[in-house]
Structure 1
Amino acid sequence: MSAIPYSNALIIGAGFGISAALTRHLRSAGLPVAIASRRPDRLAPLVTETGAIALPVDASDSSQIERLFVEVEARIGAPEIVIYNASSMVRGPIADVDPMQVERAIAVTALGAFHAVQHAAKRMLPFGKGAILMTGATAGIKGFPRSAAFAMGKFALRGLAQSASRELTPQGIHVAHIVVDGTVGTNGKSDPSDRTLSPDALAQCYMDLLRQHRSTWSWEIEVRPWLENF
């Protein structure tokens, strides 16, 4: 297995599923990792286990994302890998759902991603090197009833990834969108039904993207559980 050609990583929207598994994989590869969350105190066990640095951020607030990049740069250097995992879901009938909650959900899922990509690109472009990965969902491919806000955010995220990839790839920055088409299982627990995605196996997909040779960079991959009703 080839080495990851990047020196450090920032994960925005860190939690206990995909992000935790990614943190373990990246730290095992020897990379310093900063993990950002609205409640970084919840990440204390992961910090103790991996030695990652937990930092606060509200992804809906552009000024907080800016401060996060400045803090990460001071702690571990300008991030060469940026993974955007933050999202927000609001469920309810279109006629009844709270518009303010919809605005916030889109701010977290899509606008926050834009600000993160912008700050990442500013730091990566002078060196012609970097990787920006964005976690998508089934909702970014097809909208479901009572889930308009999530679909709007994830569709926008996919558009951002596609546009950023076409702009930044020729400049040495690998941008990829991961469509997570299914429910993510629990770390450390097997699923005998094979109907959920293993966080560890999913994280390995991200790691494989990071190891791709630039002649075969993928801008999007789609992952789903082994047994699924299509």
Structure 2
Amino acid sequence: MSGTVIILGGGSLNGVGGALAQRFADEGHHVLFTGRTLDTVQATADAIAAKGGSIEAMRVDVTSEADQDALFAHGAERGEIAAVLYNAGNNAIIPFEQLTAKQFENFWRVCCFGAFLTAQRAVPLLKEQGHGSMFFTGASGSLRGKPNFAHFASAKAGLRNLLQSLAREYGPQGIHVAHFIIDGVIDGDRVRDNYPDYLDQMGEDGALSPAAIADAFWTTHKQHRSAWSHEVELRPFKERW
């Protein structure tokens, strides 16, 4: 394998971002692993490097044009970009009547606007190459709005439509745009640290494995262009949907 993989929305090793970094590094790619907290992404990068992976950490706020410019300039300096993986997101239960304008905007900025900034910088580089993947993490909120999640669902639905437009515009130019709808609880550090009892109630394989999610990203990245997937739904076998 060759080429750099840029991951936005990184985090701990036992999470989707960390699992993506580990999977693509295991396949021989150099990984630019980014997140808002440098200490966190650096710890993950150090753990992957200790296993022989080629990886470096950068602090990037996905809603900052300056941060995004610096990231993609650095990525371009390394040569070919194999994939750009946008995993940034946030969520919280907020009843609509308690939702502030600032909160609504902040969710949109991370879930949707940051993806727009990423695509704006990635597309020219991938288009010039004539190939490359641009993948984004979605959620069940991408498809439907539930009570107390108006802020999240509207942002994720906006992301979904953005990606449909990009896929139709740039797929014929060799850029594989895919949207991964993750429908269910992820068995990562965030849930393990805050809701361990919930995971126990769900039982074996009742929550999504970050490594299994990363496998799905990798498999989609390796698809032949005569049979590309655009929207991939991932959920536990016992998830109600």
TM (normalized to structure 1)? 0.92
Structure 2: state its 5+ residue gaps: 50-54, 193-198
Pick closer, same or farther for the CA change 1:208–1:32 going to 2, 3 Å: same
Partner Cα separation in structure 2 for residue 19 and residue 66 of structure 1: 21
Whether 1:71 and 2:80 are equivalent positions in the alignment is no
Runs of 4+ in 1 over 6 A off after TM superposition: none
Whether 1:24 and 2:22 are equivalent positions in the alignment is yes
> What does residue 196 of structure 1 align with?
207
Residue 89 (structure 1) shift: 2.2
Q: Work out whether residues 143 and 157 of structure 2, in 8 Å CA contact, stay in contact via their aligned partners in 1.
A: yes
Q: Work out whether residues 69 and 78 of structure 1, in 8 Å CA contact, stay in contact via their aligned partners in 2.
A: no
> What does residue 12 of structure 1 align with?
8
> What does residue 218 of structure 2 align with?
207
Whether 1:180 and 2:191 are equivalent positions in the alignment is no
CA RMSD between the two structures: 1.8
Letter matched to residue 9 of structure 2 = G
* 1:36-91 deviation per Cα after TM superposition (whole angstroms, max 9, x unaligned): 100021123321122321101111222221222113333x3353310000112243
* 1:87-135 deviation per Cα after TM superposition (whole angstroms, max 9, x unaligned): 1224322222111121111011101001101100011111211110000
Letter matched to residue 146 of structure 1 = N
> What does residue 231 of structure 2 align with?
220
Partner Cα separation in structure 2 for residue 223 and residue 168 of structure 1: 24
What secondary structure, in the 3-state scheme, does the structure 2 residue paired with 1:10 have? strand
Partner Cα separation in structure 2 for residue 44 and residue 173 of structure 1: 29
> What does residue 167 of structure 2 align with?
165
> What does residue 111 of structure 1 align with?
113
TM (normalized to structure 2)? 0.88
Structure 1: state its 5+ residue gaps: none
> What does residue 37 of structure 1 align with?
35
Partner Cα separation in structure 2 for residue 44 and residue 122 of structure 1: 28
Partner Cα separation in structure 2 for residue 60 and residue 105 of structure 1: 11
Partner Cα separation in structure 1 for residue 240 and residue 92 of structure 2: 24
Q: Which has the higher helix share?
A: 2
What secondary structure, in the 3-state scheme, does the structure 2 residue paired with 1:221 have? strand
